[in-house]
Amino acid sequence: MADIVISEFMDDDSVASLAMDFEVLYDPSLVDQGDRLVSLLSRARALVVRNRTRVDEALLNAAPRLEVVGRLGVGLDNIDLDACARRNVVVCPATGANDTAVAEYVITAALLLRRPAFLGSDLVAKGNWPREASIGGEIAGAVMGLIGYGAIARETARRARDLGMRVQAFDPYVPGDADVGDTRLVDSLEALLETSDVVSVHVPLTDDTRGLLDARALGRMGSSSVLVNTARGHVVDEEALVDCLKRGAIGGAAMDVFAEEPLTPERAARFADVPNLLLTPHIAGVTVESNRRVGQVTAANVRRVLGSPGS
């Protein structure tokens, strides 16, 4: 039986570093084998997950020796934090390790959506010449609106300003007198949506943020504005977003996260033939470099909690 069970993908070097001192079971397919995962946890002291493994009461009951859950990322909505606290199981996210990757994704998506020429490659390859439809707009001078202003949003803001964008943010947890540099804090979500050319979501999934961007909220965005969601799928009403895009009520959207993941063919069908929509498989925070950083941070977190081998 393993000391450490890793149920989702982790970079090889970080796995190897843990295996030097602990018995490690690394099997990314475990995320889709719930019963098998539970059966392997009876003697595990650590469990390492990404965003798909559900760490709930039932799983914790199957792991009486568990001391730590290492999260390969920062979102914690797949982990029952209260249940972990009752069991004295430490939960360690890889805070800061993928900030750069997500920020670069947001800026790239904004550039692509604002300049639709890049989305017309297949048309040109077929012999079409859609110059007028490909014109789009520039990023310089546009307004980046950030919903939430934590570490990733601040990295996004810095890159947006470097491109000549004006940056504003709405975050009720940031006091009005906080030092936010050149970012303008707005006092309501409605004001941000109505005055931003690019809206980027940077909030955790909570009772307050579930369905935050519903049909009414999306209706406040301008017809040329675009939405980027790298946070959590449930924050955006997917049906309302599809409707807005089909009607031309907003200019475009990039979705890296979804209400149900991974998308099944049946769930994905709602996004078929939707104009100006970019879909990616929850990958914004994962690059070669960030994956290595996330693994290293998580391995260090787990090692710190477990202490020396045999302790």
Which residues are the active-site residues? 232, 261, 282
Q: How far apart are CA 158 and CA 147, in angstroms?
A: 15
> How far is Cα 153 from Cα 8, in angstroms, rounded to an integer?
26
Q: Is the dihedral of CA 13, 15, 21, 25 positive or negative?
A: negative
Distances (CA, A) of 106 to 13, 59, 126, 199, 255: 28, 34, 29, 10, 10
Q: H-helix or E-strand containing 247?
A: helix 238-247
Longest pairwise C-alpha distance within the chain: 68
> Rounded distance, CA 144 to CA 165, Å?
6
